[in-house]
Amino acid sequence: MSIRSAAIIGAGVAGLTAALSLARHGIRSDIFEQADTLTEVGAGLQLSPNASRVLGELGLLQALSEVWLEPRDVSLVSGRSLRRIASVPCGSFARARWGAPYGVLHRATLQRVLVDAVKANPLCTLHLSTLLANPSLQYLSQAGLAAADVLIGADGVWSRTRTQVPASPAPRFSGNIAWRFILREADAPRFLDRTSVTAFLGPSAHLVCYPLKETGGFNVVAIAAGSSSAREWGAAGSEAQRTMLIRQFAGWNAEIGRVLADAAQATFWPLYELGNGRWHNGRDTILIGDAAHAMMPFAAQGAAMAIEDAYELAGMLATHPLAEAFDLFETRRQPRIARLRQRAAFNRFAYHARGPLRIGRDVVLALRPPQSLAADFDWLYGYRAVG
């Protein structure tokens, strides 16, 4: 192997998956996290087959499949009329077509499974309550925290590790806000599908809803245009912000409006993204996940890309000299991320279409059978990460 040990900054999905992927190759890692406890902020997430396949390689799929839900399909529905526009089959279809399951679960569930695996692995050491004054290998060595061969920045969109990478991308506000909350089964309208992921579409806004097996309720994410204060993340939001959100869903089905108005525990997530830039310094530091390429959630691939990054980087570090592994990682991953950005931008346009564009969208989608729509995702869901 080209390295013996790694220091990982951040104990989210990217960092924990990186540690387990490195351990698979016999490489030791120290994971540094500034939080006192790993309590995942947010609500649900979708794990498509390209990500669940990697988790299966890491031996985690059985633990996840015991608690997650494999949706029957992913449906696009009018937020006004509740008419189904189109759907992509999942469930047994996903396993057969893409060779791995499509699951939905609470973020805390995935984090718990990852943390348990890290704690059980003798090659992984998790350090909580550790805020690094300078996220660099030199600082870690001088502080007596770790002597590592490589530094992996897995510390999210507001990454401090990016300061070690010249010409790295900078965060920019996307102009959109996500409101996330868990809807209790008792409060859920009857029309909500208890077996599927549903994206309700409307002018300049959309809402995604799917059941969470662990909680017995629904994960709800409403996305619309809004304003942001830098780093305002996971907050309750002001009354003015809540009023703006509800106004943007005016004219939708009345029950959807009621759900949004009654969402007392909703959290406010300004959506930041990263543009193009370098992901490594050519020497000892590399970025993965949102630290490298945070993007809009219009393709539901944030966690999946972090998992793919971690797994593929570990394989490259285990089989190539450090500088070569860094270049190979960028060469392999950047075109995939670029294509995914294009898909997310298309989804944003399609989901938020207005007027004649909305009518045309509905007609075109309605003419395509589910299996034909599924084929559009072969490049994404059928991807086999190399680790």
The tokens describing 221, both together, are: 């994410």
Angle CA(223)–CA(94)–CA(58) in degrees, nearest 5?
A: 90
Q: Report the chain's terminal Cα–Cα distance, integer Å.
A: 13
Selecting among 102, 139, 210, 311, the annotated active-site residue is: 210
For residue 272, indicate whether it is catalytic. no
- Identify the CA nearest to 311 among candidates 9, 14, 3: 14
Both structure tokens of 101: 């399951």
**C-alpha closest to that of 32 among 126, 154, 163:** 126
Query: What residues form DSSP beta bridges with 45?
Result: 105
Pairing of strands 73-78, 124-127: unpaired
Q: Computed from CA positions of residues 8, 10, 14, 17, in that sequence, does the dihedral angle turn out positive or negative?
A: positive
**Residues 6 or more apart whose Cβ sits within 8 Å of residue 256:** 79, 189, 200, 207, 249
Amino acid, single-letter form, for residue 111: Q
Residue type, 150: V
Q: Which residues are designated catalytic?
A: 210
